């Protein structure tokens, strides 16, 4: 399955991943999935904070429903973020490209 999702200038390719490669990188498939999951949560939080920061510029202090109106810039910003690749796809891509630093303290030798 090859399908492209565009994120500005970066292209994410949706493809079936070889689980054996993922297992080899982390030593354990479940650990690889946990690493990707934690990174996806970090990416999602970063994107959420960035979006809220941009949308705060459009925030109003009144609670009157009659005064709510559409703002084209706000809508365009929201649409741009909706088109972004899923954080789990980004995290998986980073993991496969060895862009994620991770360590497991229980696998490290004990210092005496």
| pLDDT tens string 21-33 | 999 999 899 999 9
48 found inside a domain: yes
Mean pLDDT score, 54-62: 75
pLDDT confidence bin for 112, thresholds 50/70/90: low
Host H or E run for residue 7: strand 3-7
| pLDDT reported for residue 57 | 81
Evaluate whether residue 53 is within a structural domain: yes
Supply the range of the domain harboring residue 83. Answer: 3-59+69-103
In a domain, 80, yes or no: yes
Residue 112 lies in a domain: no
The alpha carbon dihedral of 18, 10, 100, 92 has a sign of: negative
Does any domain span residue 109?
A: no
Residue 5 tokens, joined = 């999702």
Is 111 part of a structural domain of the chain? no
At 12 the three-state DSSP class reads strand
* pTM exceeding the 0.85 threshold for the entire prediction: no
What is the count of structural domains for the chain?
1
Does residue 110 sit within a domain? no
| Pair of tokens at residue 85 | 């690749």
CA distance 59 to 71: 11
Identify whether 108 is part of a domain: no
């Amino acid at each position: 399955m090859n399908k492209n999702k565009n994120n500005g200038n970066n292209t994410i390719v949706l493809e079936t991943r070889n689980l054996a490669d993922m297992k080899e990188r982390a030593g354990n498939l479940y650990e690889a999935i946990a690493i990707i999951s934690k990174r996806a949560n970090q990416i999602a939080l970063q994107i959420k904070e960035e979006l809220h920061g941009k949308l705060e510029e459009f925030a109003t202090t009144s609670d009157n429903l009659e005064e709510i109106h559409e703002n084209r810039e706000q809508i365009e910003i929201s649409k741009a973020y909706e088109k972004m690749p899923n954080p789990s796809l980004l995290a998986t891509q980073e993991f496969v490209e060895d862009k994620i630093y991770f360590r497991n303290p229980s696998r490290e030798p004990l210092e005496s």
